[in-house]
Structure 1
């Protein structure tokens, strides 16, 4: 093939990495089709996402200027301490550790986003290039391109296939059938929900709870993950002014929490949840924080029951190297990891920017296609794999040992 031309790229998965890749490619003059398994973009995958300069600056590299501005304006307000902080159950500080990544300064530092808002920003202007309810189940590649087969039997043809279809990626499963997904829990977190910010809750919350994503612990093994989201501007209002053709749902401030349940409480897999399950989880969480700071009890008591769900954590065993081809992987499909460093979304967006930059070299005639894809994959492995391995020692990653300190302190009467 003549590599000196724009590419037609097929993207399996409409999560953050897939949509960011699509935006970057369109910005550079390529054509794309995105195939997303869900019928909409509203599946519960979490709420607040911590961002640092790795993810935030990756967005600057792939988004049109107005959509990047929209991301910044709908992200959370800046905070004073760019650190991971561990508290005791009365919200006294135990330890802290600087966030990972390069310097993150300026009048609007990268802080964090509401996942659905960012996904709507990233899907802006994709139009009929985004196919929902259309998962990629397999592919065939040859010397001239890649053909994907969708779940309903339809096919599509392109120059490149990007697997952005999550930790249990069908694309990675075919590309690397020997790479396992390791299912694992993280003690004390896994059931998530959100509590609306109200004046009454604000009165109870000490200011430290506004300093990013924090973990509070007690000496009995209970944990409470806290992430307060106060957007710089209301999402729908910002969109109306900055990018009127992009729809963003209204979003008010909230606190995302994940709390321990009491010993013996069974957290069923998502497919087994009933209408009563969220309430049972909330009751167990309330019992787990009995005697904690009043704000902790209010946060759990105020959770919206409809927002409560569980995340089945896992990670992939990284494959050290492989021969590049027309099929590549980004995001969780490439390096699904535990969330304890808050780096998954940041690295996924960085993947998108790295891949777009390499494919742009092909369009400019500076590199052959397979060479460029191999260059991206090497950059991705060098950046993401060390962090993936760090997340596996997750109990040491909440604020530089605060959990160990809390568990070792003698109880006082």
Structure 2
């Protein structure tokens, strides 16, 4: 088999789609990334816990300076690489080591601001990243794949990668039998940010500063906290590492998701008014009124403009399928609940392994469809067991105390 450069079409400019693009460009291939949003500003979350799956995938797909920029803008190293459950006065109930492979090295993977990572992953892609261009369908033949965009235009390539999220248009055509299951996650769903000021640092117990923790009371209320405290000021980090990259300023913050008080209805995002964030923040305050005093203070300081709701859902992924020139990564393949911190990490791992297989095919070491099939088999073997774990989150996060608290509540 001859070696030749591939032209790969990527539906979706999220983390996994951009990681595929970076990795392929690094191997000498060309890409087109089609992102339906007109910019990269849509609220999708704030702090992302990173483990060795995701962090080492970034090491593989990114140029060395962009990987160094990811490390510099990650949060400082925490003392315990564990998921931790606290009670409502922030004493520890249970803990367990973070899931995934060992996370060692001089600069362990900790956590990042999602938008910052997306800006790093989109760096230097130039015109290959096409915003406001949604893939609506495709046709495949023996020689390639042609995608159709929402405006009626088309583009052709050797491979199509569906990285377009849980409601993927590519998956809907490729695996139409895969259902999306909308669901809620108890006590989690409304998110916001709290500036991590010196004053707040003085009153917040150290137990809340070690990665992502969940506190719970006997009435069923919960508070999830993830602290973002970068190793270097985010907007200054590129100056010495990658001067051609621009990152938006992001100060230290606490990402918070908190239960609302019983009887409070959280409307769908489309029905929010200007008053909704304040009403929800007030309800969160009532939910934690009897907790450690820091809980009420954290809620009180939540930035109203940062508050939004994530409508959770997951896939029941297909057991297997015959490979073709069309494949899937990340949420398009195995969207899972975010409750054990593995979704983004596994999506990046997907990207790394798909890039590796497509690079093999480009070098003539494997047939293209066979290489894609090898990626898909590996993805199913690694990602699916974690997907199953997310369906019993209370048992699998932090050593089981959440399950006991749920039974008590």
Instruction: Pick the TM interval, shorter chain.
Output: over 0.9
Aligned to 2:322: 323
Matches within 5 A, 1:141-290: 141-290=140-289
Q: Is the 8 A contact 1:192 1:259 kept in 2?
A: yes
Aligned residues: 409
Counterparts of 2:50 and 2:57, CA distance in 1:
11
Deviation at 1:200, TM superposition (A): 1.3
- Identify which range, 104-113 or 353-362, moves more after superposition: 104-113
Q: Deviations over 1:139-189 (max 9, x none)?
A: 001111101011111111100000000000000001111100001111100
Superposed CA offset, 1:94-140 (max 9, x none): 00010011111223100000000000000000011100010100000
> After superposition, where does 1:20-99 map in structure 2 within 5 Å?
20-99=19-98
TM-score, with normalisation over the residues of structure 1? 0.97
Asked if 1:137 is matched to 2:117, the reply is no
1:363 aligns with 2:362: yes
| Structure 2 residue runs without a partner (length 5+) | none
Partner of 1:18: 17
SS in 1 for 2:399: coil
Q: Deviations over 1:57-114 (max 9, x none)?
A: 0100100000000000000000010000000000000000100111112231000000
Segments of 5+ residues of structure 1 without an aligned counterpart are none
Secondary structure of the equivalent of 1:224?
Answer: strand
Residue 208 of structure 1 deviates from its aligned partner by: 1.4
Q: Cα deviation per residue 1:340-392 (whole Å; 9 max; x = unaligned)?
A: 11000000000000000000111111001000000000010001001001100
Q: Does 1:384 pair with 2:389?
A: no
Determine if contact 2:220/2:405 at 8 Å carries over to the other structure: no
Output the CA distance in 2 between the equivalents of 1:269 and 1:310.
Answer: 8
Q: Give the distance between the partners of 1:79 and 1:395, measured in 2 at CA.
A: 23
Counterpart CA distance in 2 for 1:262 and 1:320 is 40
Displaced runs of 4 or more, over 4 A: 407-410
- Distance in 2 (CA, whole Å) between partners of 1:283 and 1:244 is 43
Secondary structure at the aligned position of 2:8 is classed as strand
1:3–1:368 Cα contact (<8 Å) kept: no
1:386-405 equivalences under 5 Å are: 386-405=385-404
